Amino acid sequence: MVLATPNPILRGEKVEANIELPTIDLLGERSEVSRQIVKACEEFGFFKVVNHGVPHDIISKMEEESLSFFSKPEAQKQLAGPAKPFGYGCKTIGFNGDMGEVEYILLNTHPLSIAHHSKTISSNNPTKFSFTVSWYIEAVKGLACEILDLMADGLRVSDTKLFSRLIKDSDSDSLFRLNHYPNNDYCSKDRDTSSPLPPYDHSRVGFGEHSDPQILTLLRSNDVGGLQISLDDNVWVPVAPDPTAFCVNVGDVLQAMTNGRFVSVRHRAIVTNSHKSRLSMAYFAAPALNALISVPKEVVTAEKPRLYRPFTWAEYKRTTYSLRLGDTRLNLFRIC
């Protein structure tokens, strides 16, 4: 990890330019891989996986379908919206007034839900869209399960399938999100183009800072940057884009299930001044609504007593949706 002198940015924020996320090679020796994953989740809450086994073909087909949708005229895209709860959304995020410079498709990963929404997202070939999404989701779900099992191993949890079982449940409430952030050509319409832009303009937030509520997030982005993670208050670390890798992060539920050993870190997406738009595809692995979030005995000790009260995913989700994007929620479930 290389630490650089922080650059002062707007509103007292700092961006640490040269911190690199831990990179985990899934072809490595199993016990070493699980040790590295645990370390990354404790220190960063984020890591990159390479040699992940998700076929390139699946990723590029999903990217193609996404770009073909986002390149449609706005009026046509609106037919697949609003994303309340699922479908196409533009600029508005959630239900409580959050906004960002982003357009997106949000889907529940249940096959019937995908098939239903594909009819409006891709009216000319819904079967193809639905097939591509289902194919992509099956592949990333497999990767998520593999990573969750490695985590359980690394934490010495005897029930090694404890985490992955939650997302394998056919009633799992996992989500899939396609985010499309505007490019520089889009913003140059309203600005003085005579002076060059800095690589990032922090007044242009694509997706504001937040933590992910679920268990685990697997994000694949194209070669345009914008993702930043918050390691300390007001210090933001840009994540260099790597289309060959998946960026994995711990969600709030996994922080609770590991009794705070793993951290669900706040992150955001900034609109970069690239001529190409950023496309990211996020799989949010979640339990079923009625699942009780339990803490394995191995992570509760005399020195580290239980941090959170038991709750169901439905209860946690309800709290999440009653709050704003940037609000912290897991603290509300803490045992004082």
Among 40, 237, 325, 330, the residue binding ligand GA4 under the rule CB under 6 A is 325
What is the closest distance, in whole angstroms, from the C-beta atom of residue 251 to ligand GA4 in the complex?
8
3-state per-residue secondary structure call for 208-239: EEECCCCCEEEEEECCCCCEEEEEECCEEEEC
Task: List the structure tokens of 86.
Answer: 């699922």
Task: List the structure tokens of 246.
Answer: 């998946």
Least Cα distance to 187 among 291, 272, 244, 106 occurs for 272
> How far apart (Å, rounded) are the C-alpha atoms in residues 68 and 95?
27
Annotated catalytic residue within 177, 220, 266, 278: 278
Among 210, 220, 267, 268, the residue binding ligand GA4 under the rule CB under 6 A is 210
Three-state SS at 105: strand
Binding of residue 173 to ligand GA4 (CB under 6 A):
no
What is the closest distance, in whole angstroms, from the C-beta atom of residue 188 to ligand GA4 in the complex?
28
Among 81, 87, 206, 213, the residue binding ligand GA4 under the rule CB under 6 A is 213
Residue 239: how many CB atoms within 10 A of its CB?
Answer: 21
What is the closest distance, in whole angstroms, from the C-beta atom of residue 214 to ligand GA4 in the complex?
6
Helix-helix angle 30-43:126-154, to 10 degrees: 90
What is the closest distance, in whole angstroms, from the C-beta atom of residue 210 to ligand GA4 in the complex?
5
CB 173 within 8 A of CB 312: no
Among 86, 284, 313, 316, the residue binding ligand GA4 under the rule CB under 6 A is 284
CB 291 within 8 A of CB 313: yes
DSSP state of 124: S
How many chain residues interact with ligand GA4 (CB under 6 A)?
15
Q: Which stretch binds ligand GA4 (CB under 6 A): 4-12, 48-56, 141-149, 210-218?
A: 210-218
What is the closest distance, in whole angstroms, from the C-beta atom of residue 91 to ligand GA4 in the complex?
12
> How far apart (Å, rounded) are the C-alpha atoms in residues 109 and 117?
11
Q: Which of residues 79-98 bind ligand GA4 (CB under 6 A)?
A: 93-94, 96, 98
C-alpha dist (Å) from residue 305 to 108, 259, 265, 298:
35, 8, 22, 11
Residue nearest to ligand GA4 (CB): 94
Q: 177 vs 220, which CB is nearer to ligand GA4?
A: 177
Binding of residue 321 to ligand GA4 (CB under 6 A):
yes
Q: Which stretch binds ligand GA4 (CB under 6 A): 47-55, 62-70, 252-260, 318-326?
A: 318-326
C-alpha dist (Å) from residue 277 to 57, 67, 223:
21, 10, 9
278 catalytic? Reply is yes
Among 52, 177, 268, 278, the residue binding ligand GA4 under the rule CB under 6 A is 177
Cis, peptide link before residue 82, omega less than 30° from 0: yes
Q: Which of residues 216-255 bind ligand GA4 (CB under 6 A)?
A: none
What is the closest distance, in whole angstroms, from the C-beta atom of residue 89 to ligand GA4 in the complex?
8
Q: 52 vs 268, which CB is nearer to ligand GA4?
A: 268
Residues that bind ligand GA4 (CB under 6 A): 93-94, 96, 98, 106, 175, 177, 210, 212-213, 284, 320-321, 324-325
Residues annotated as catalytic are: 278
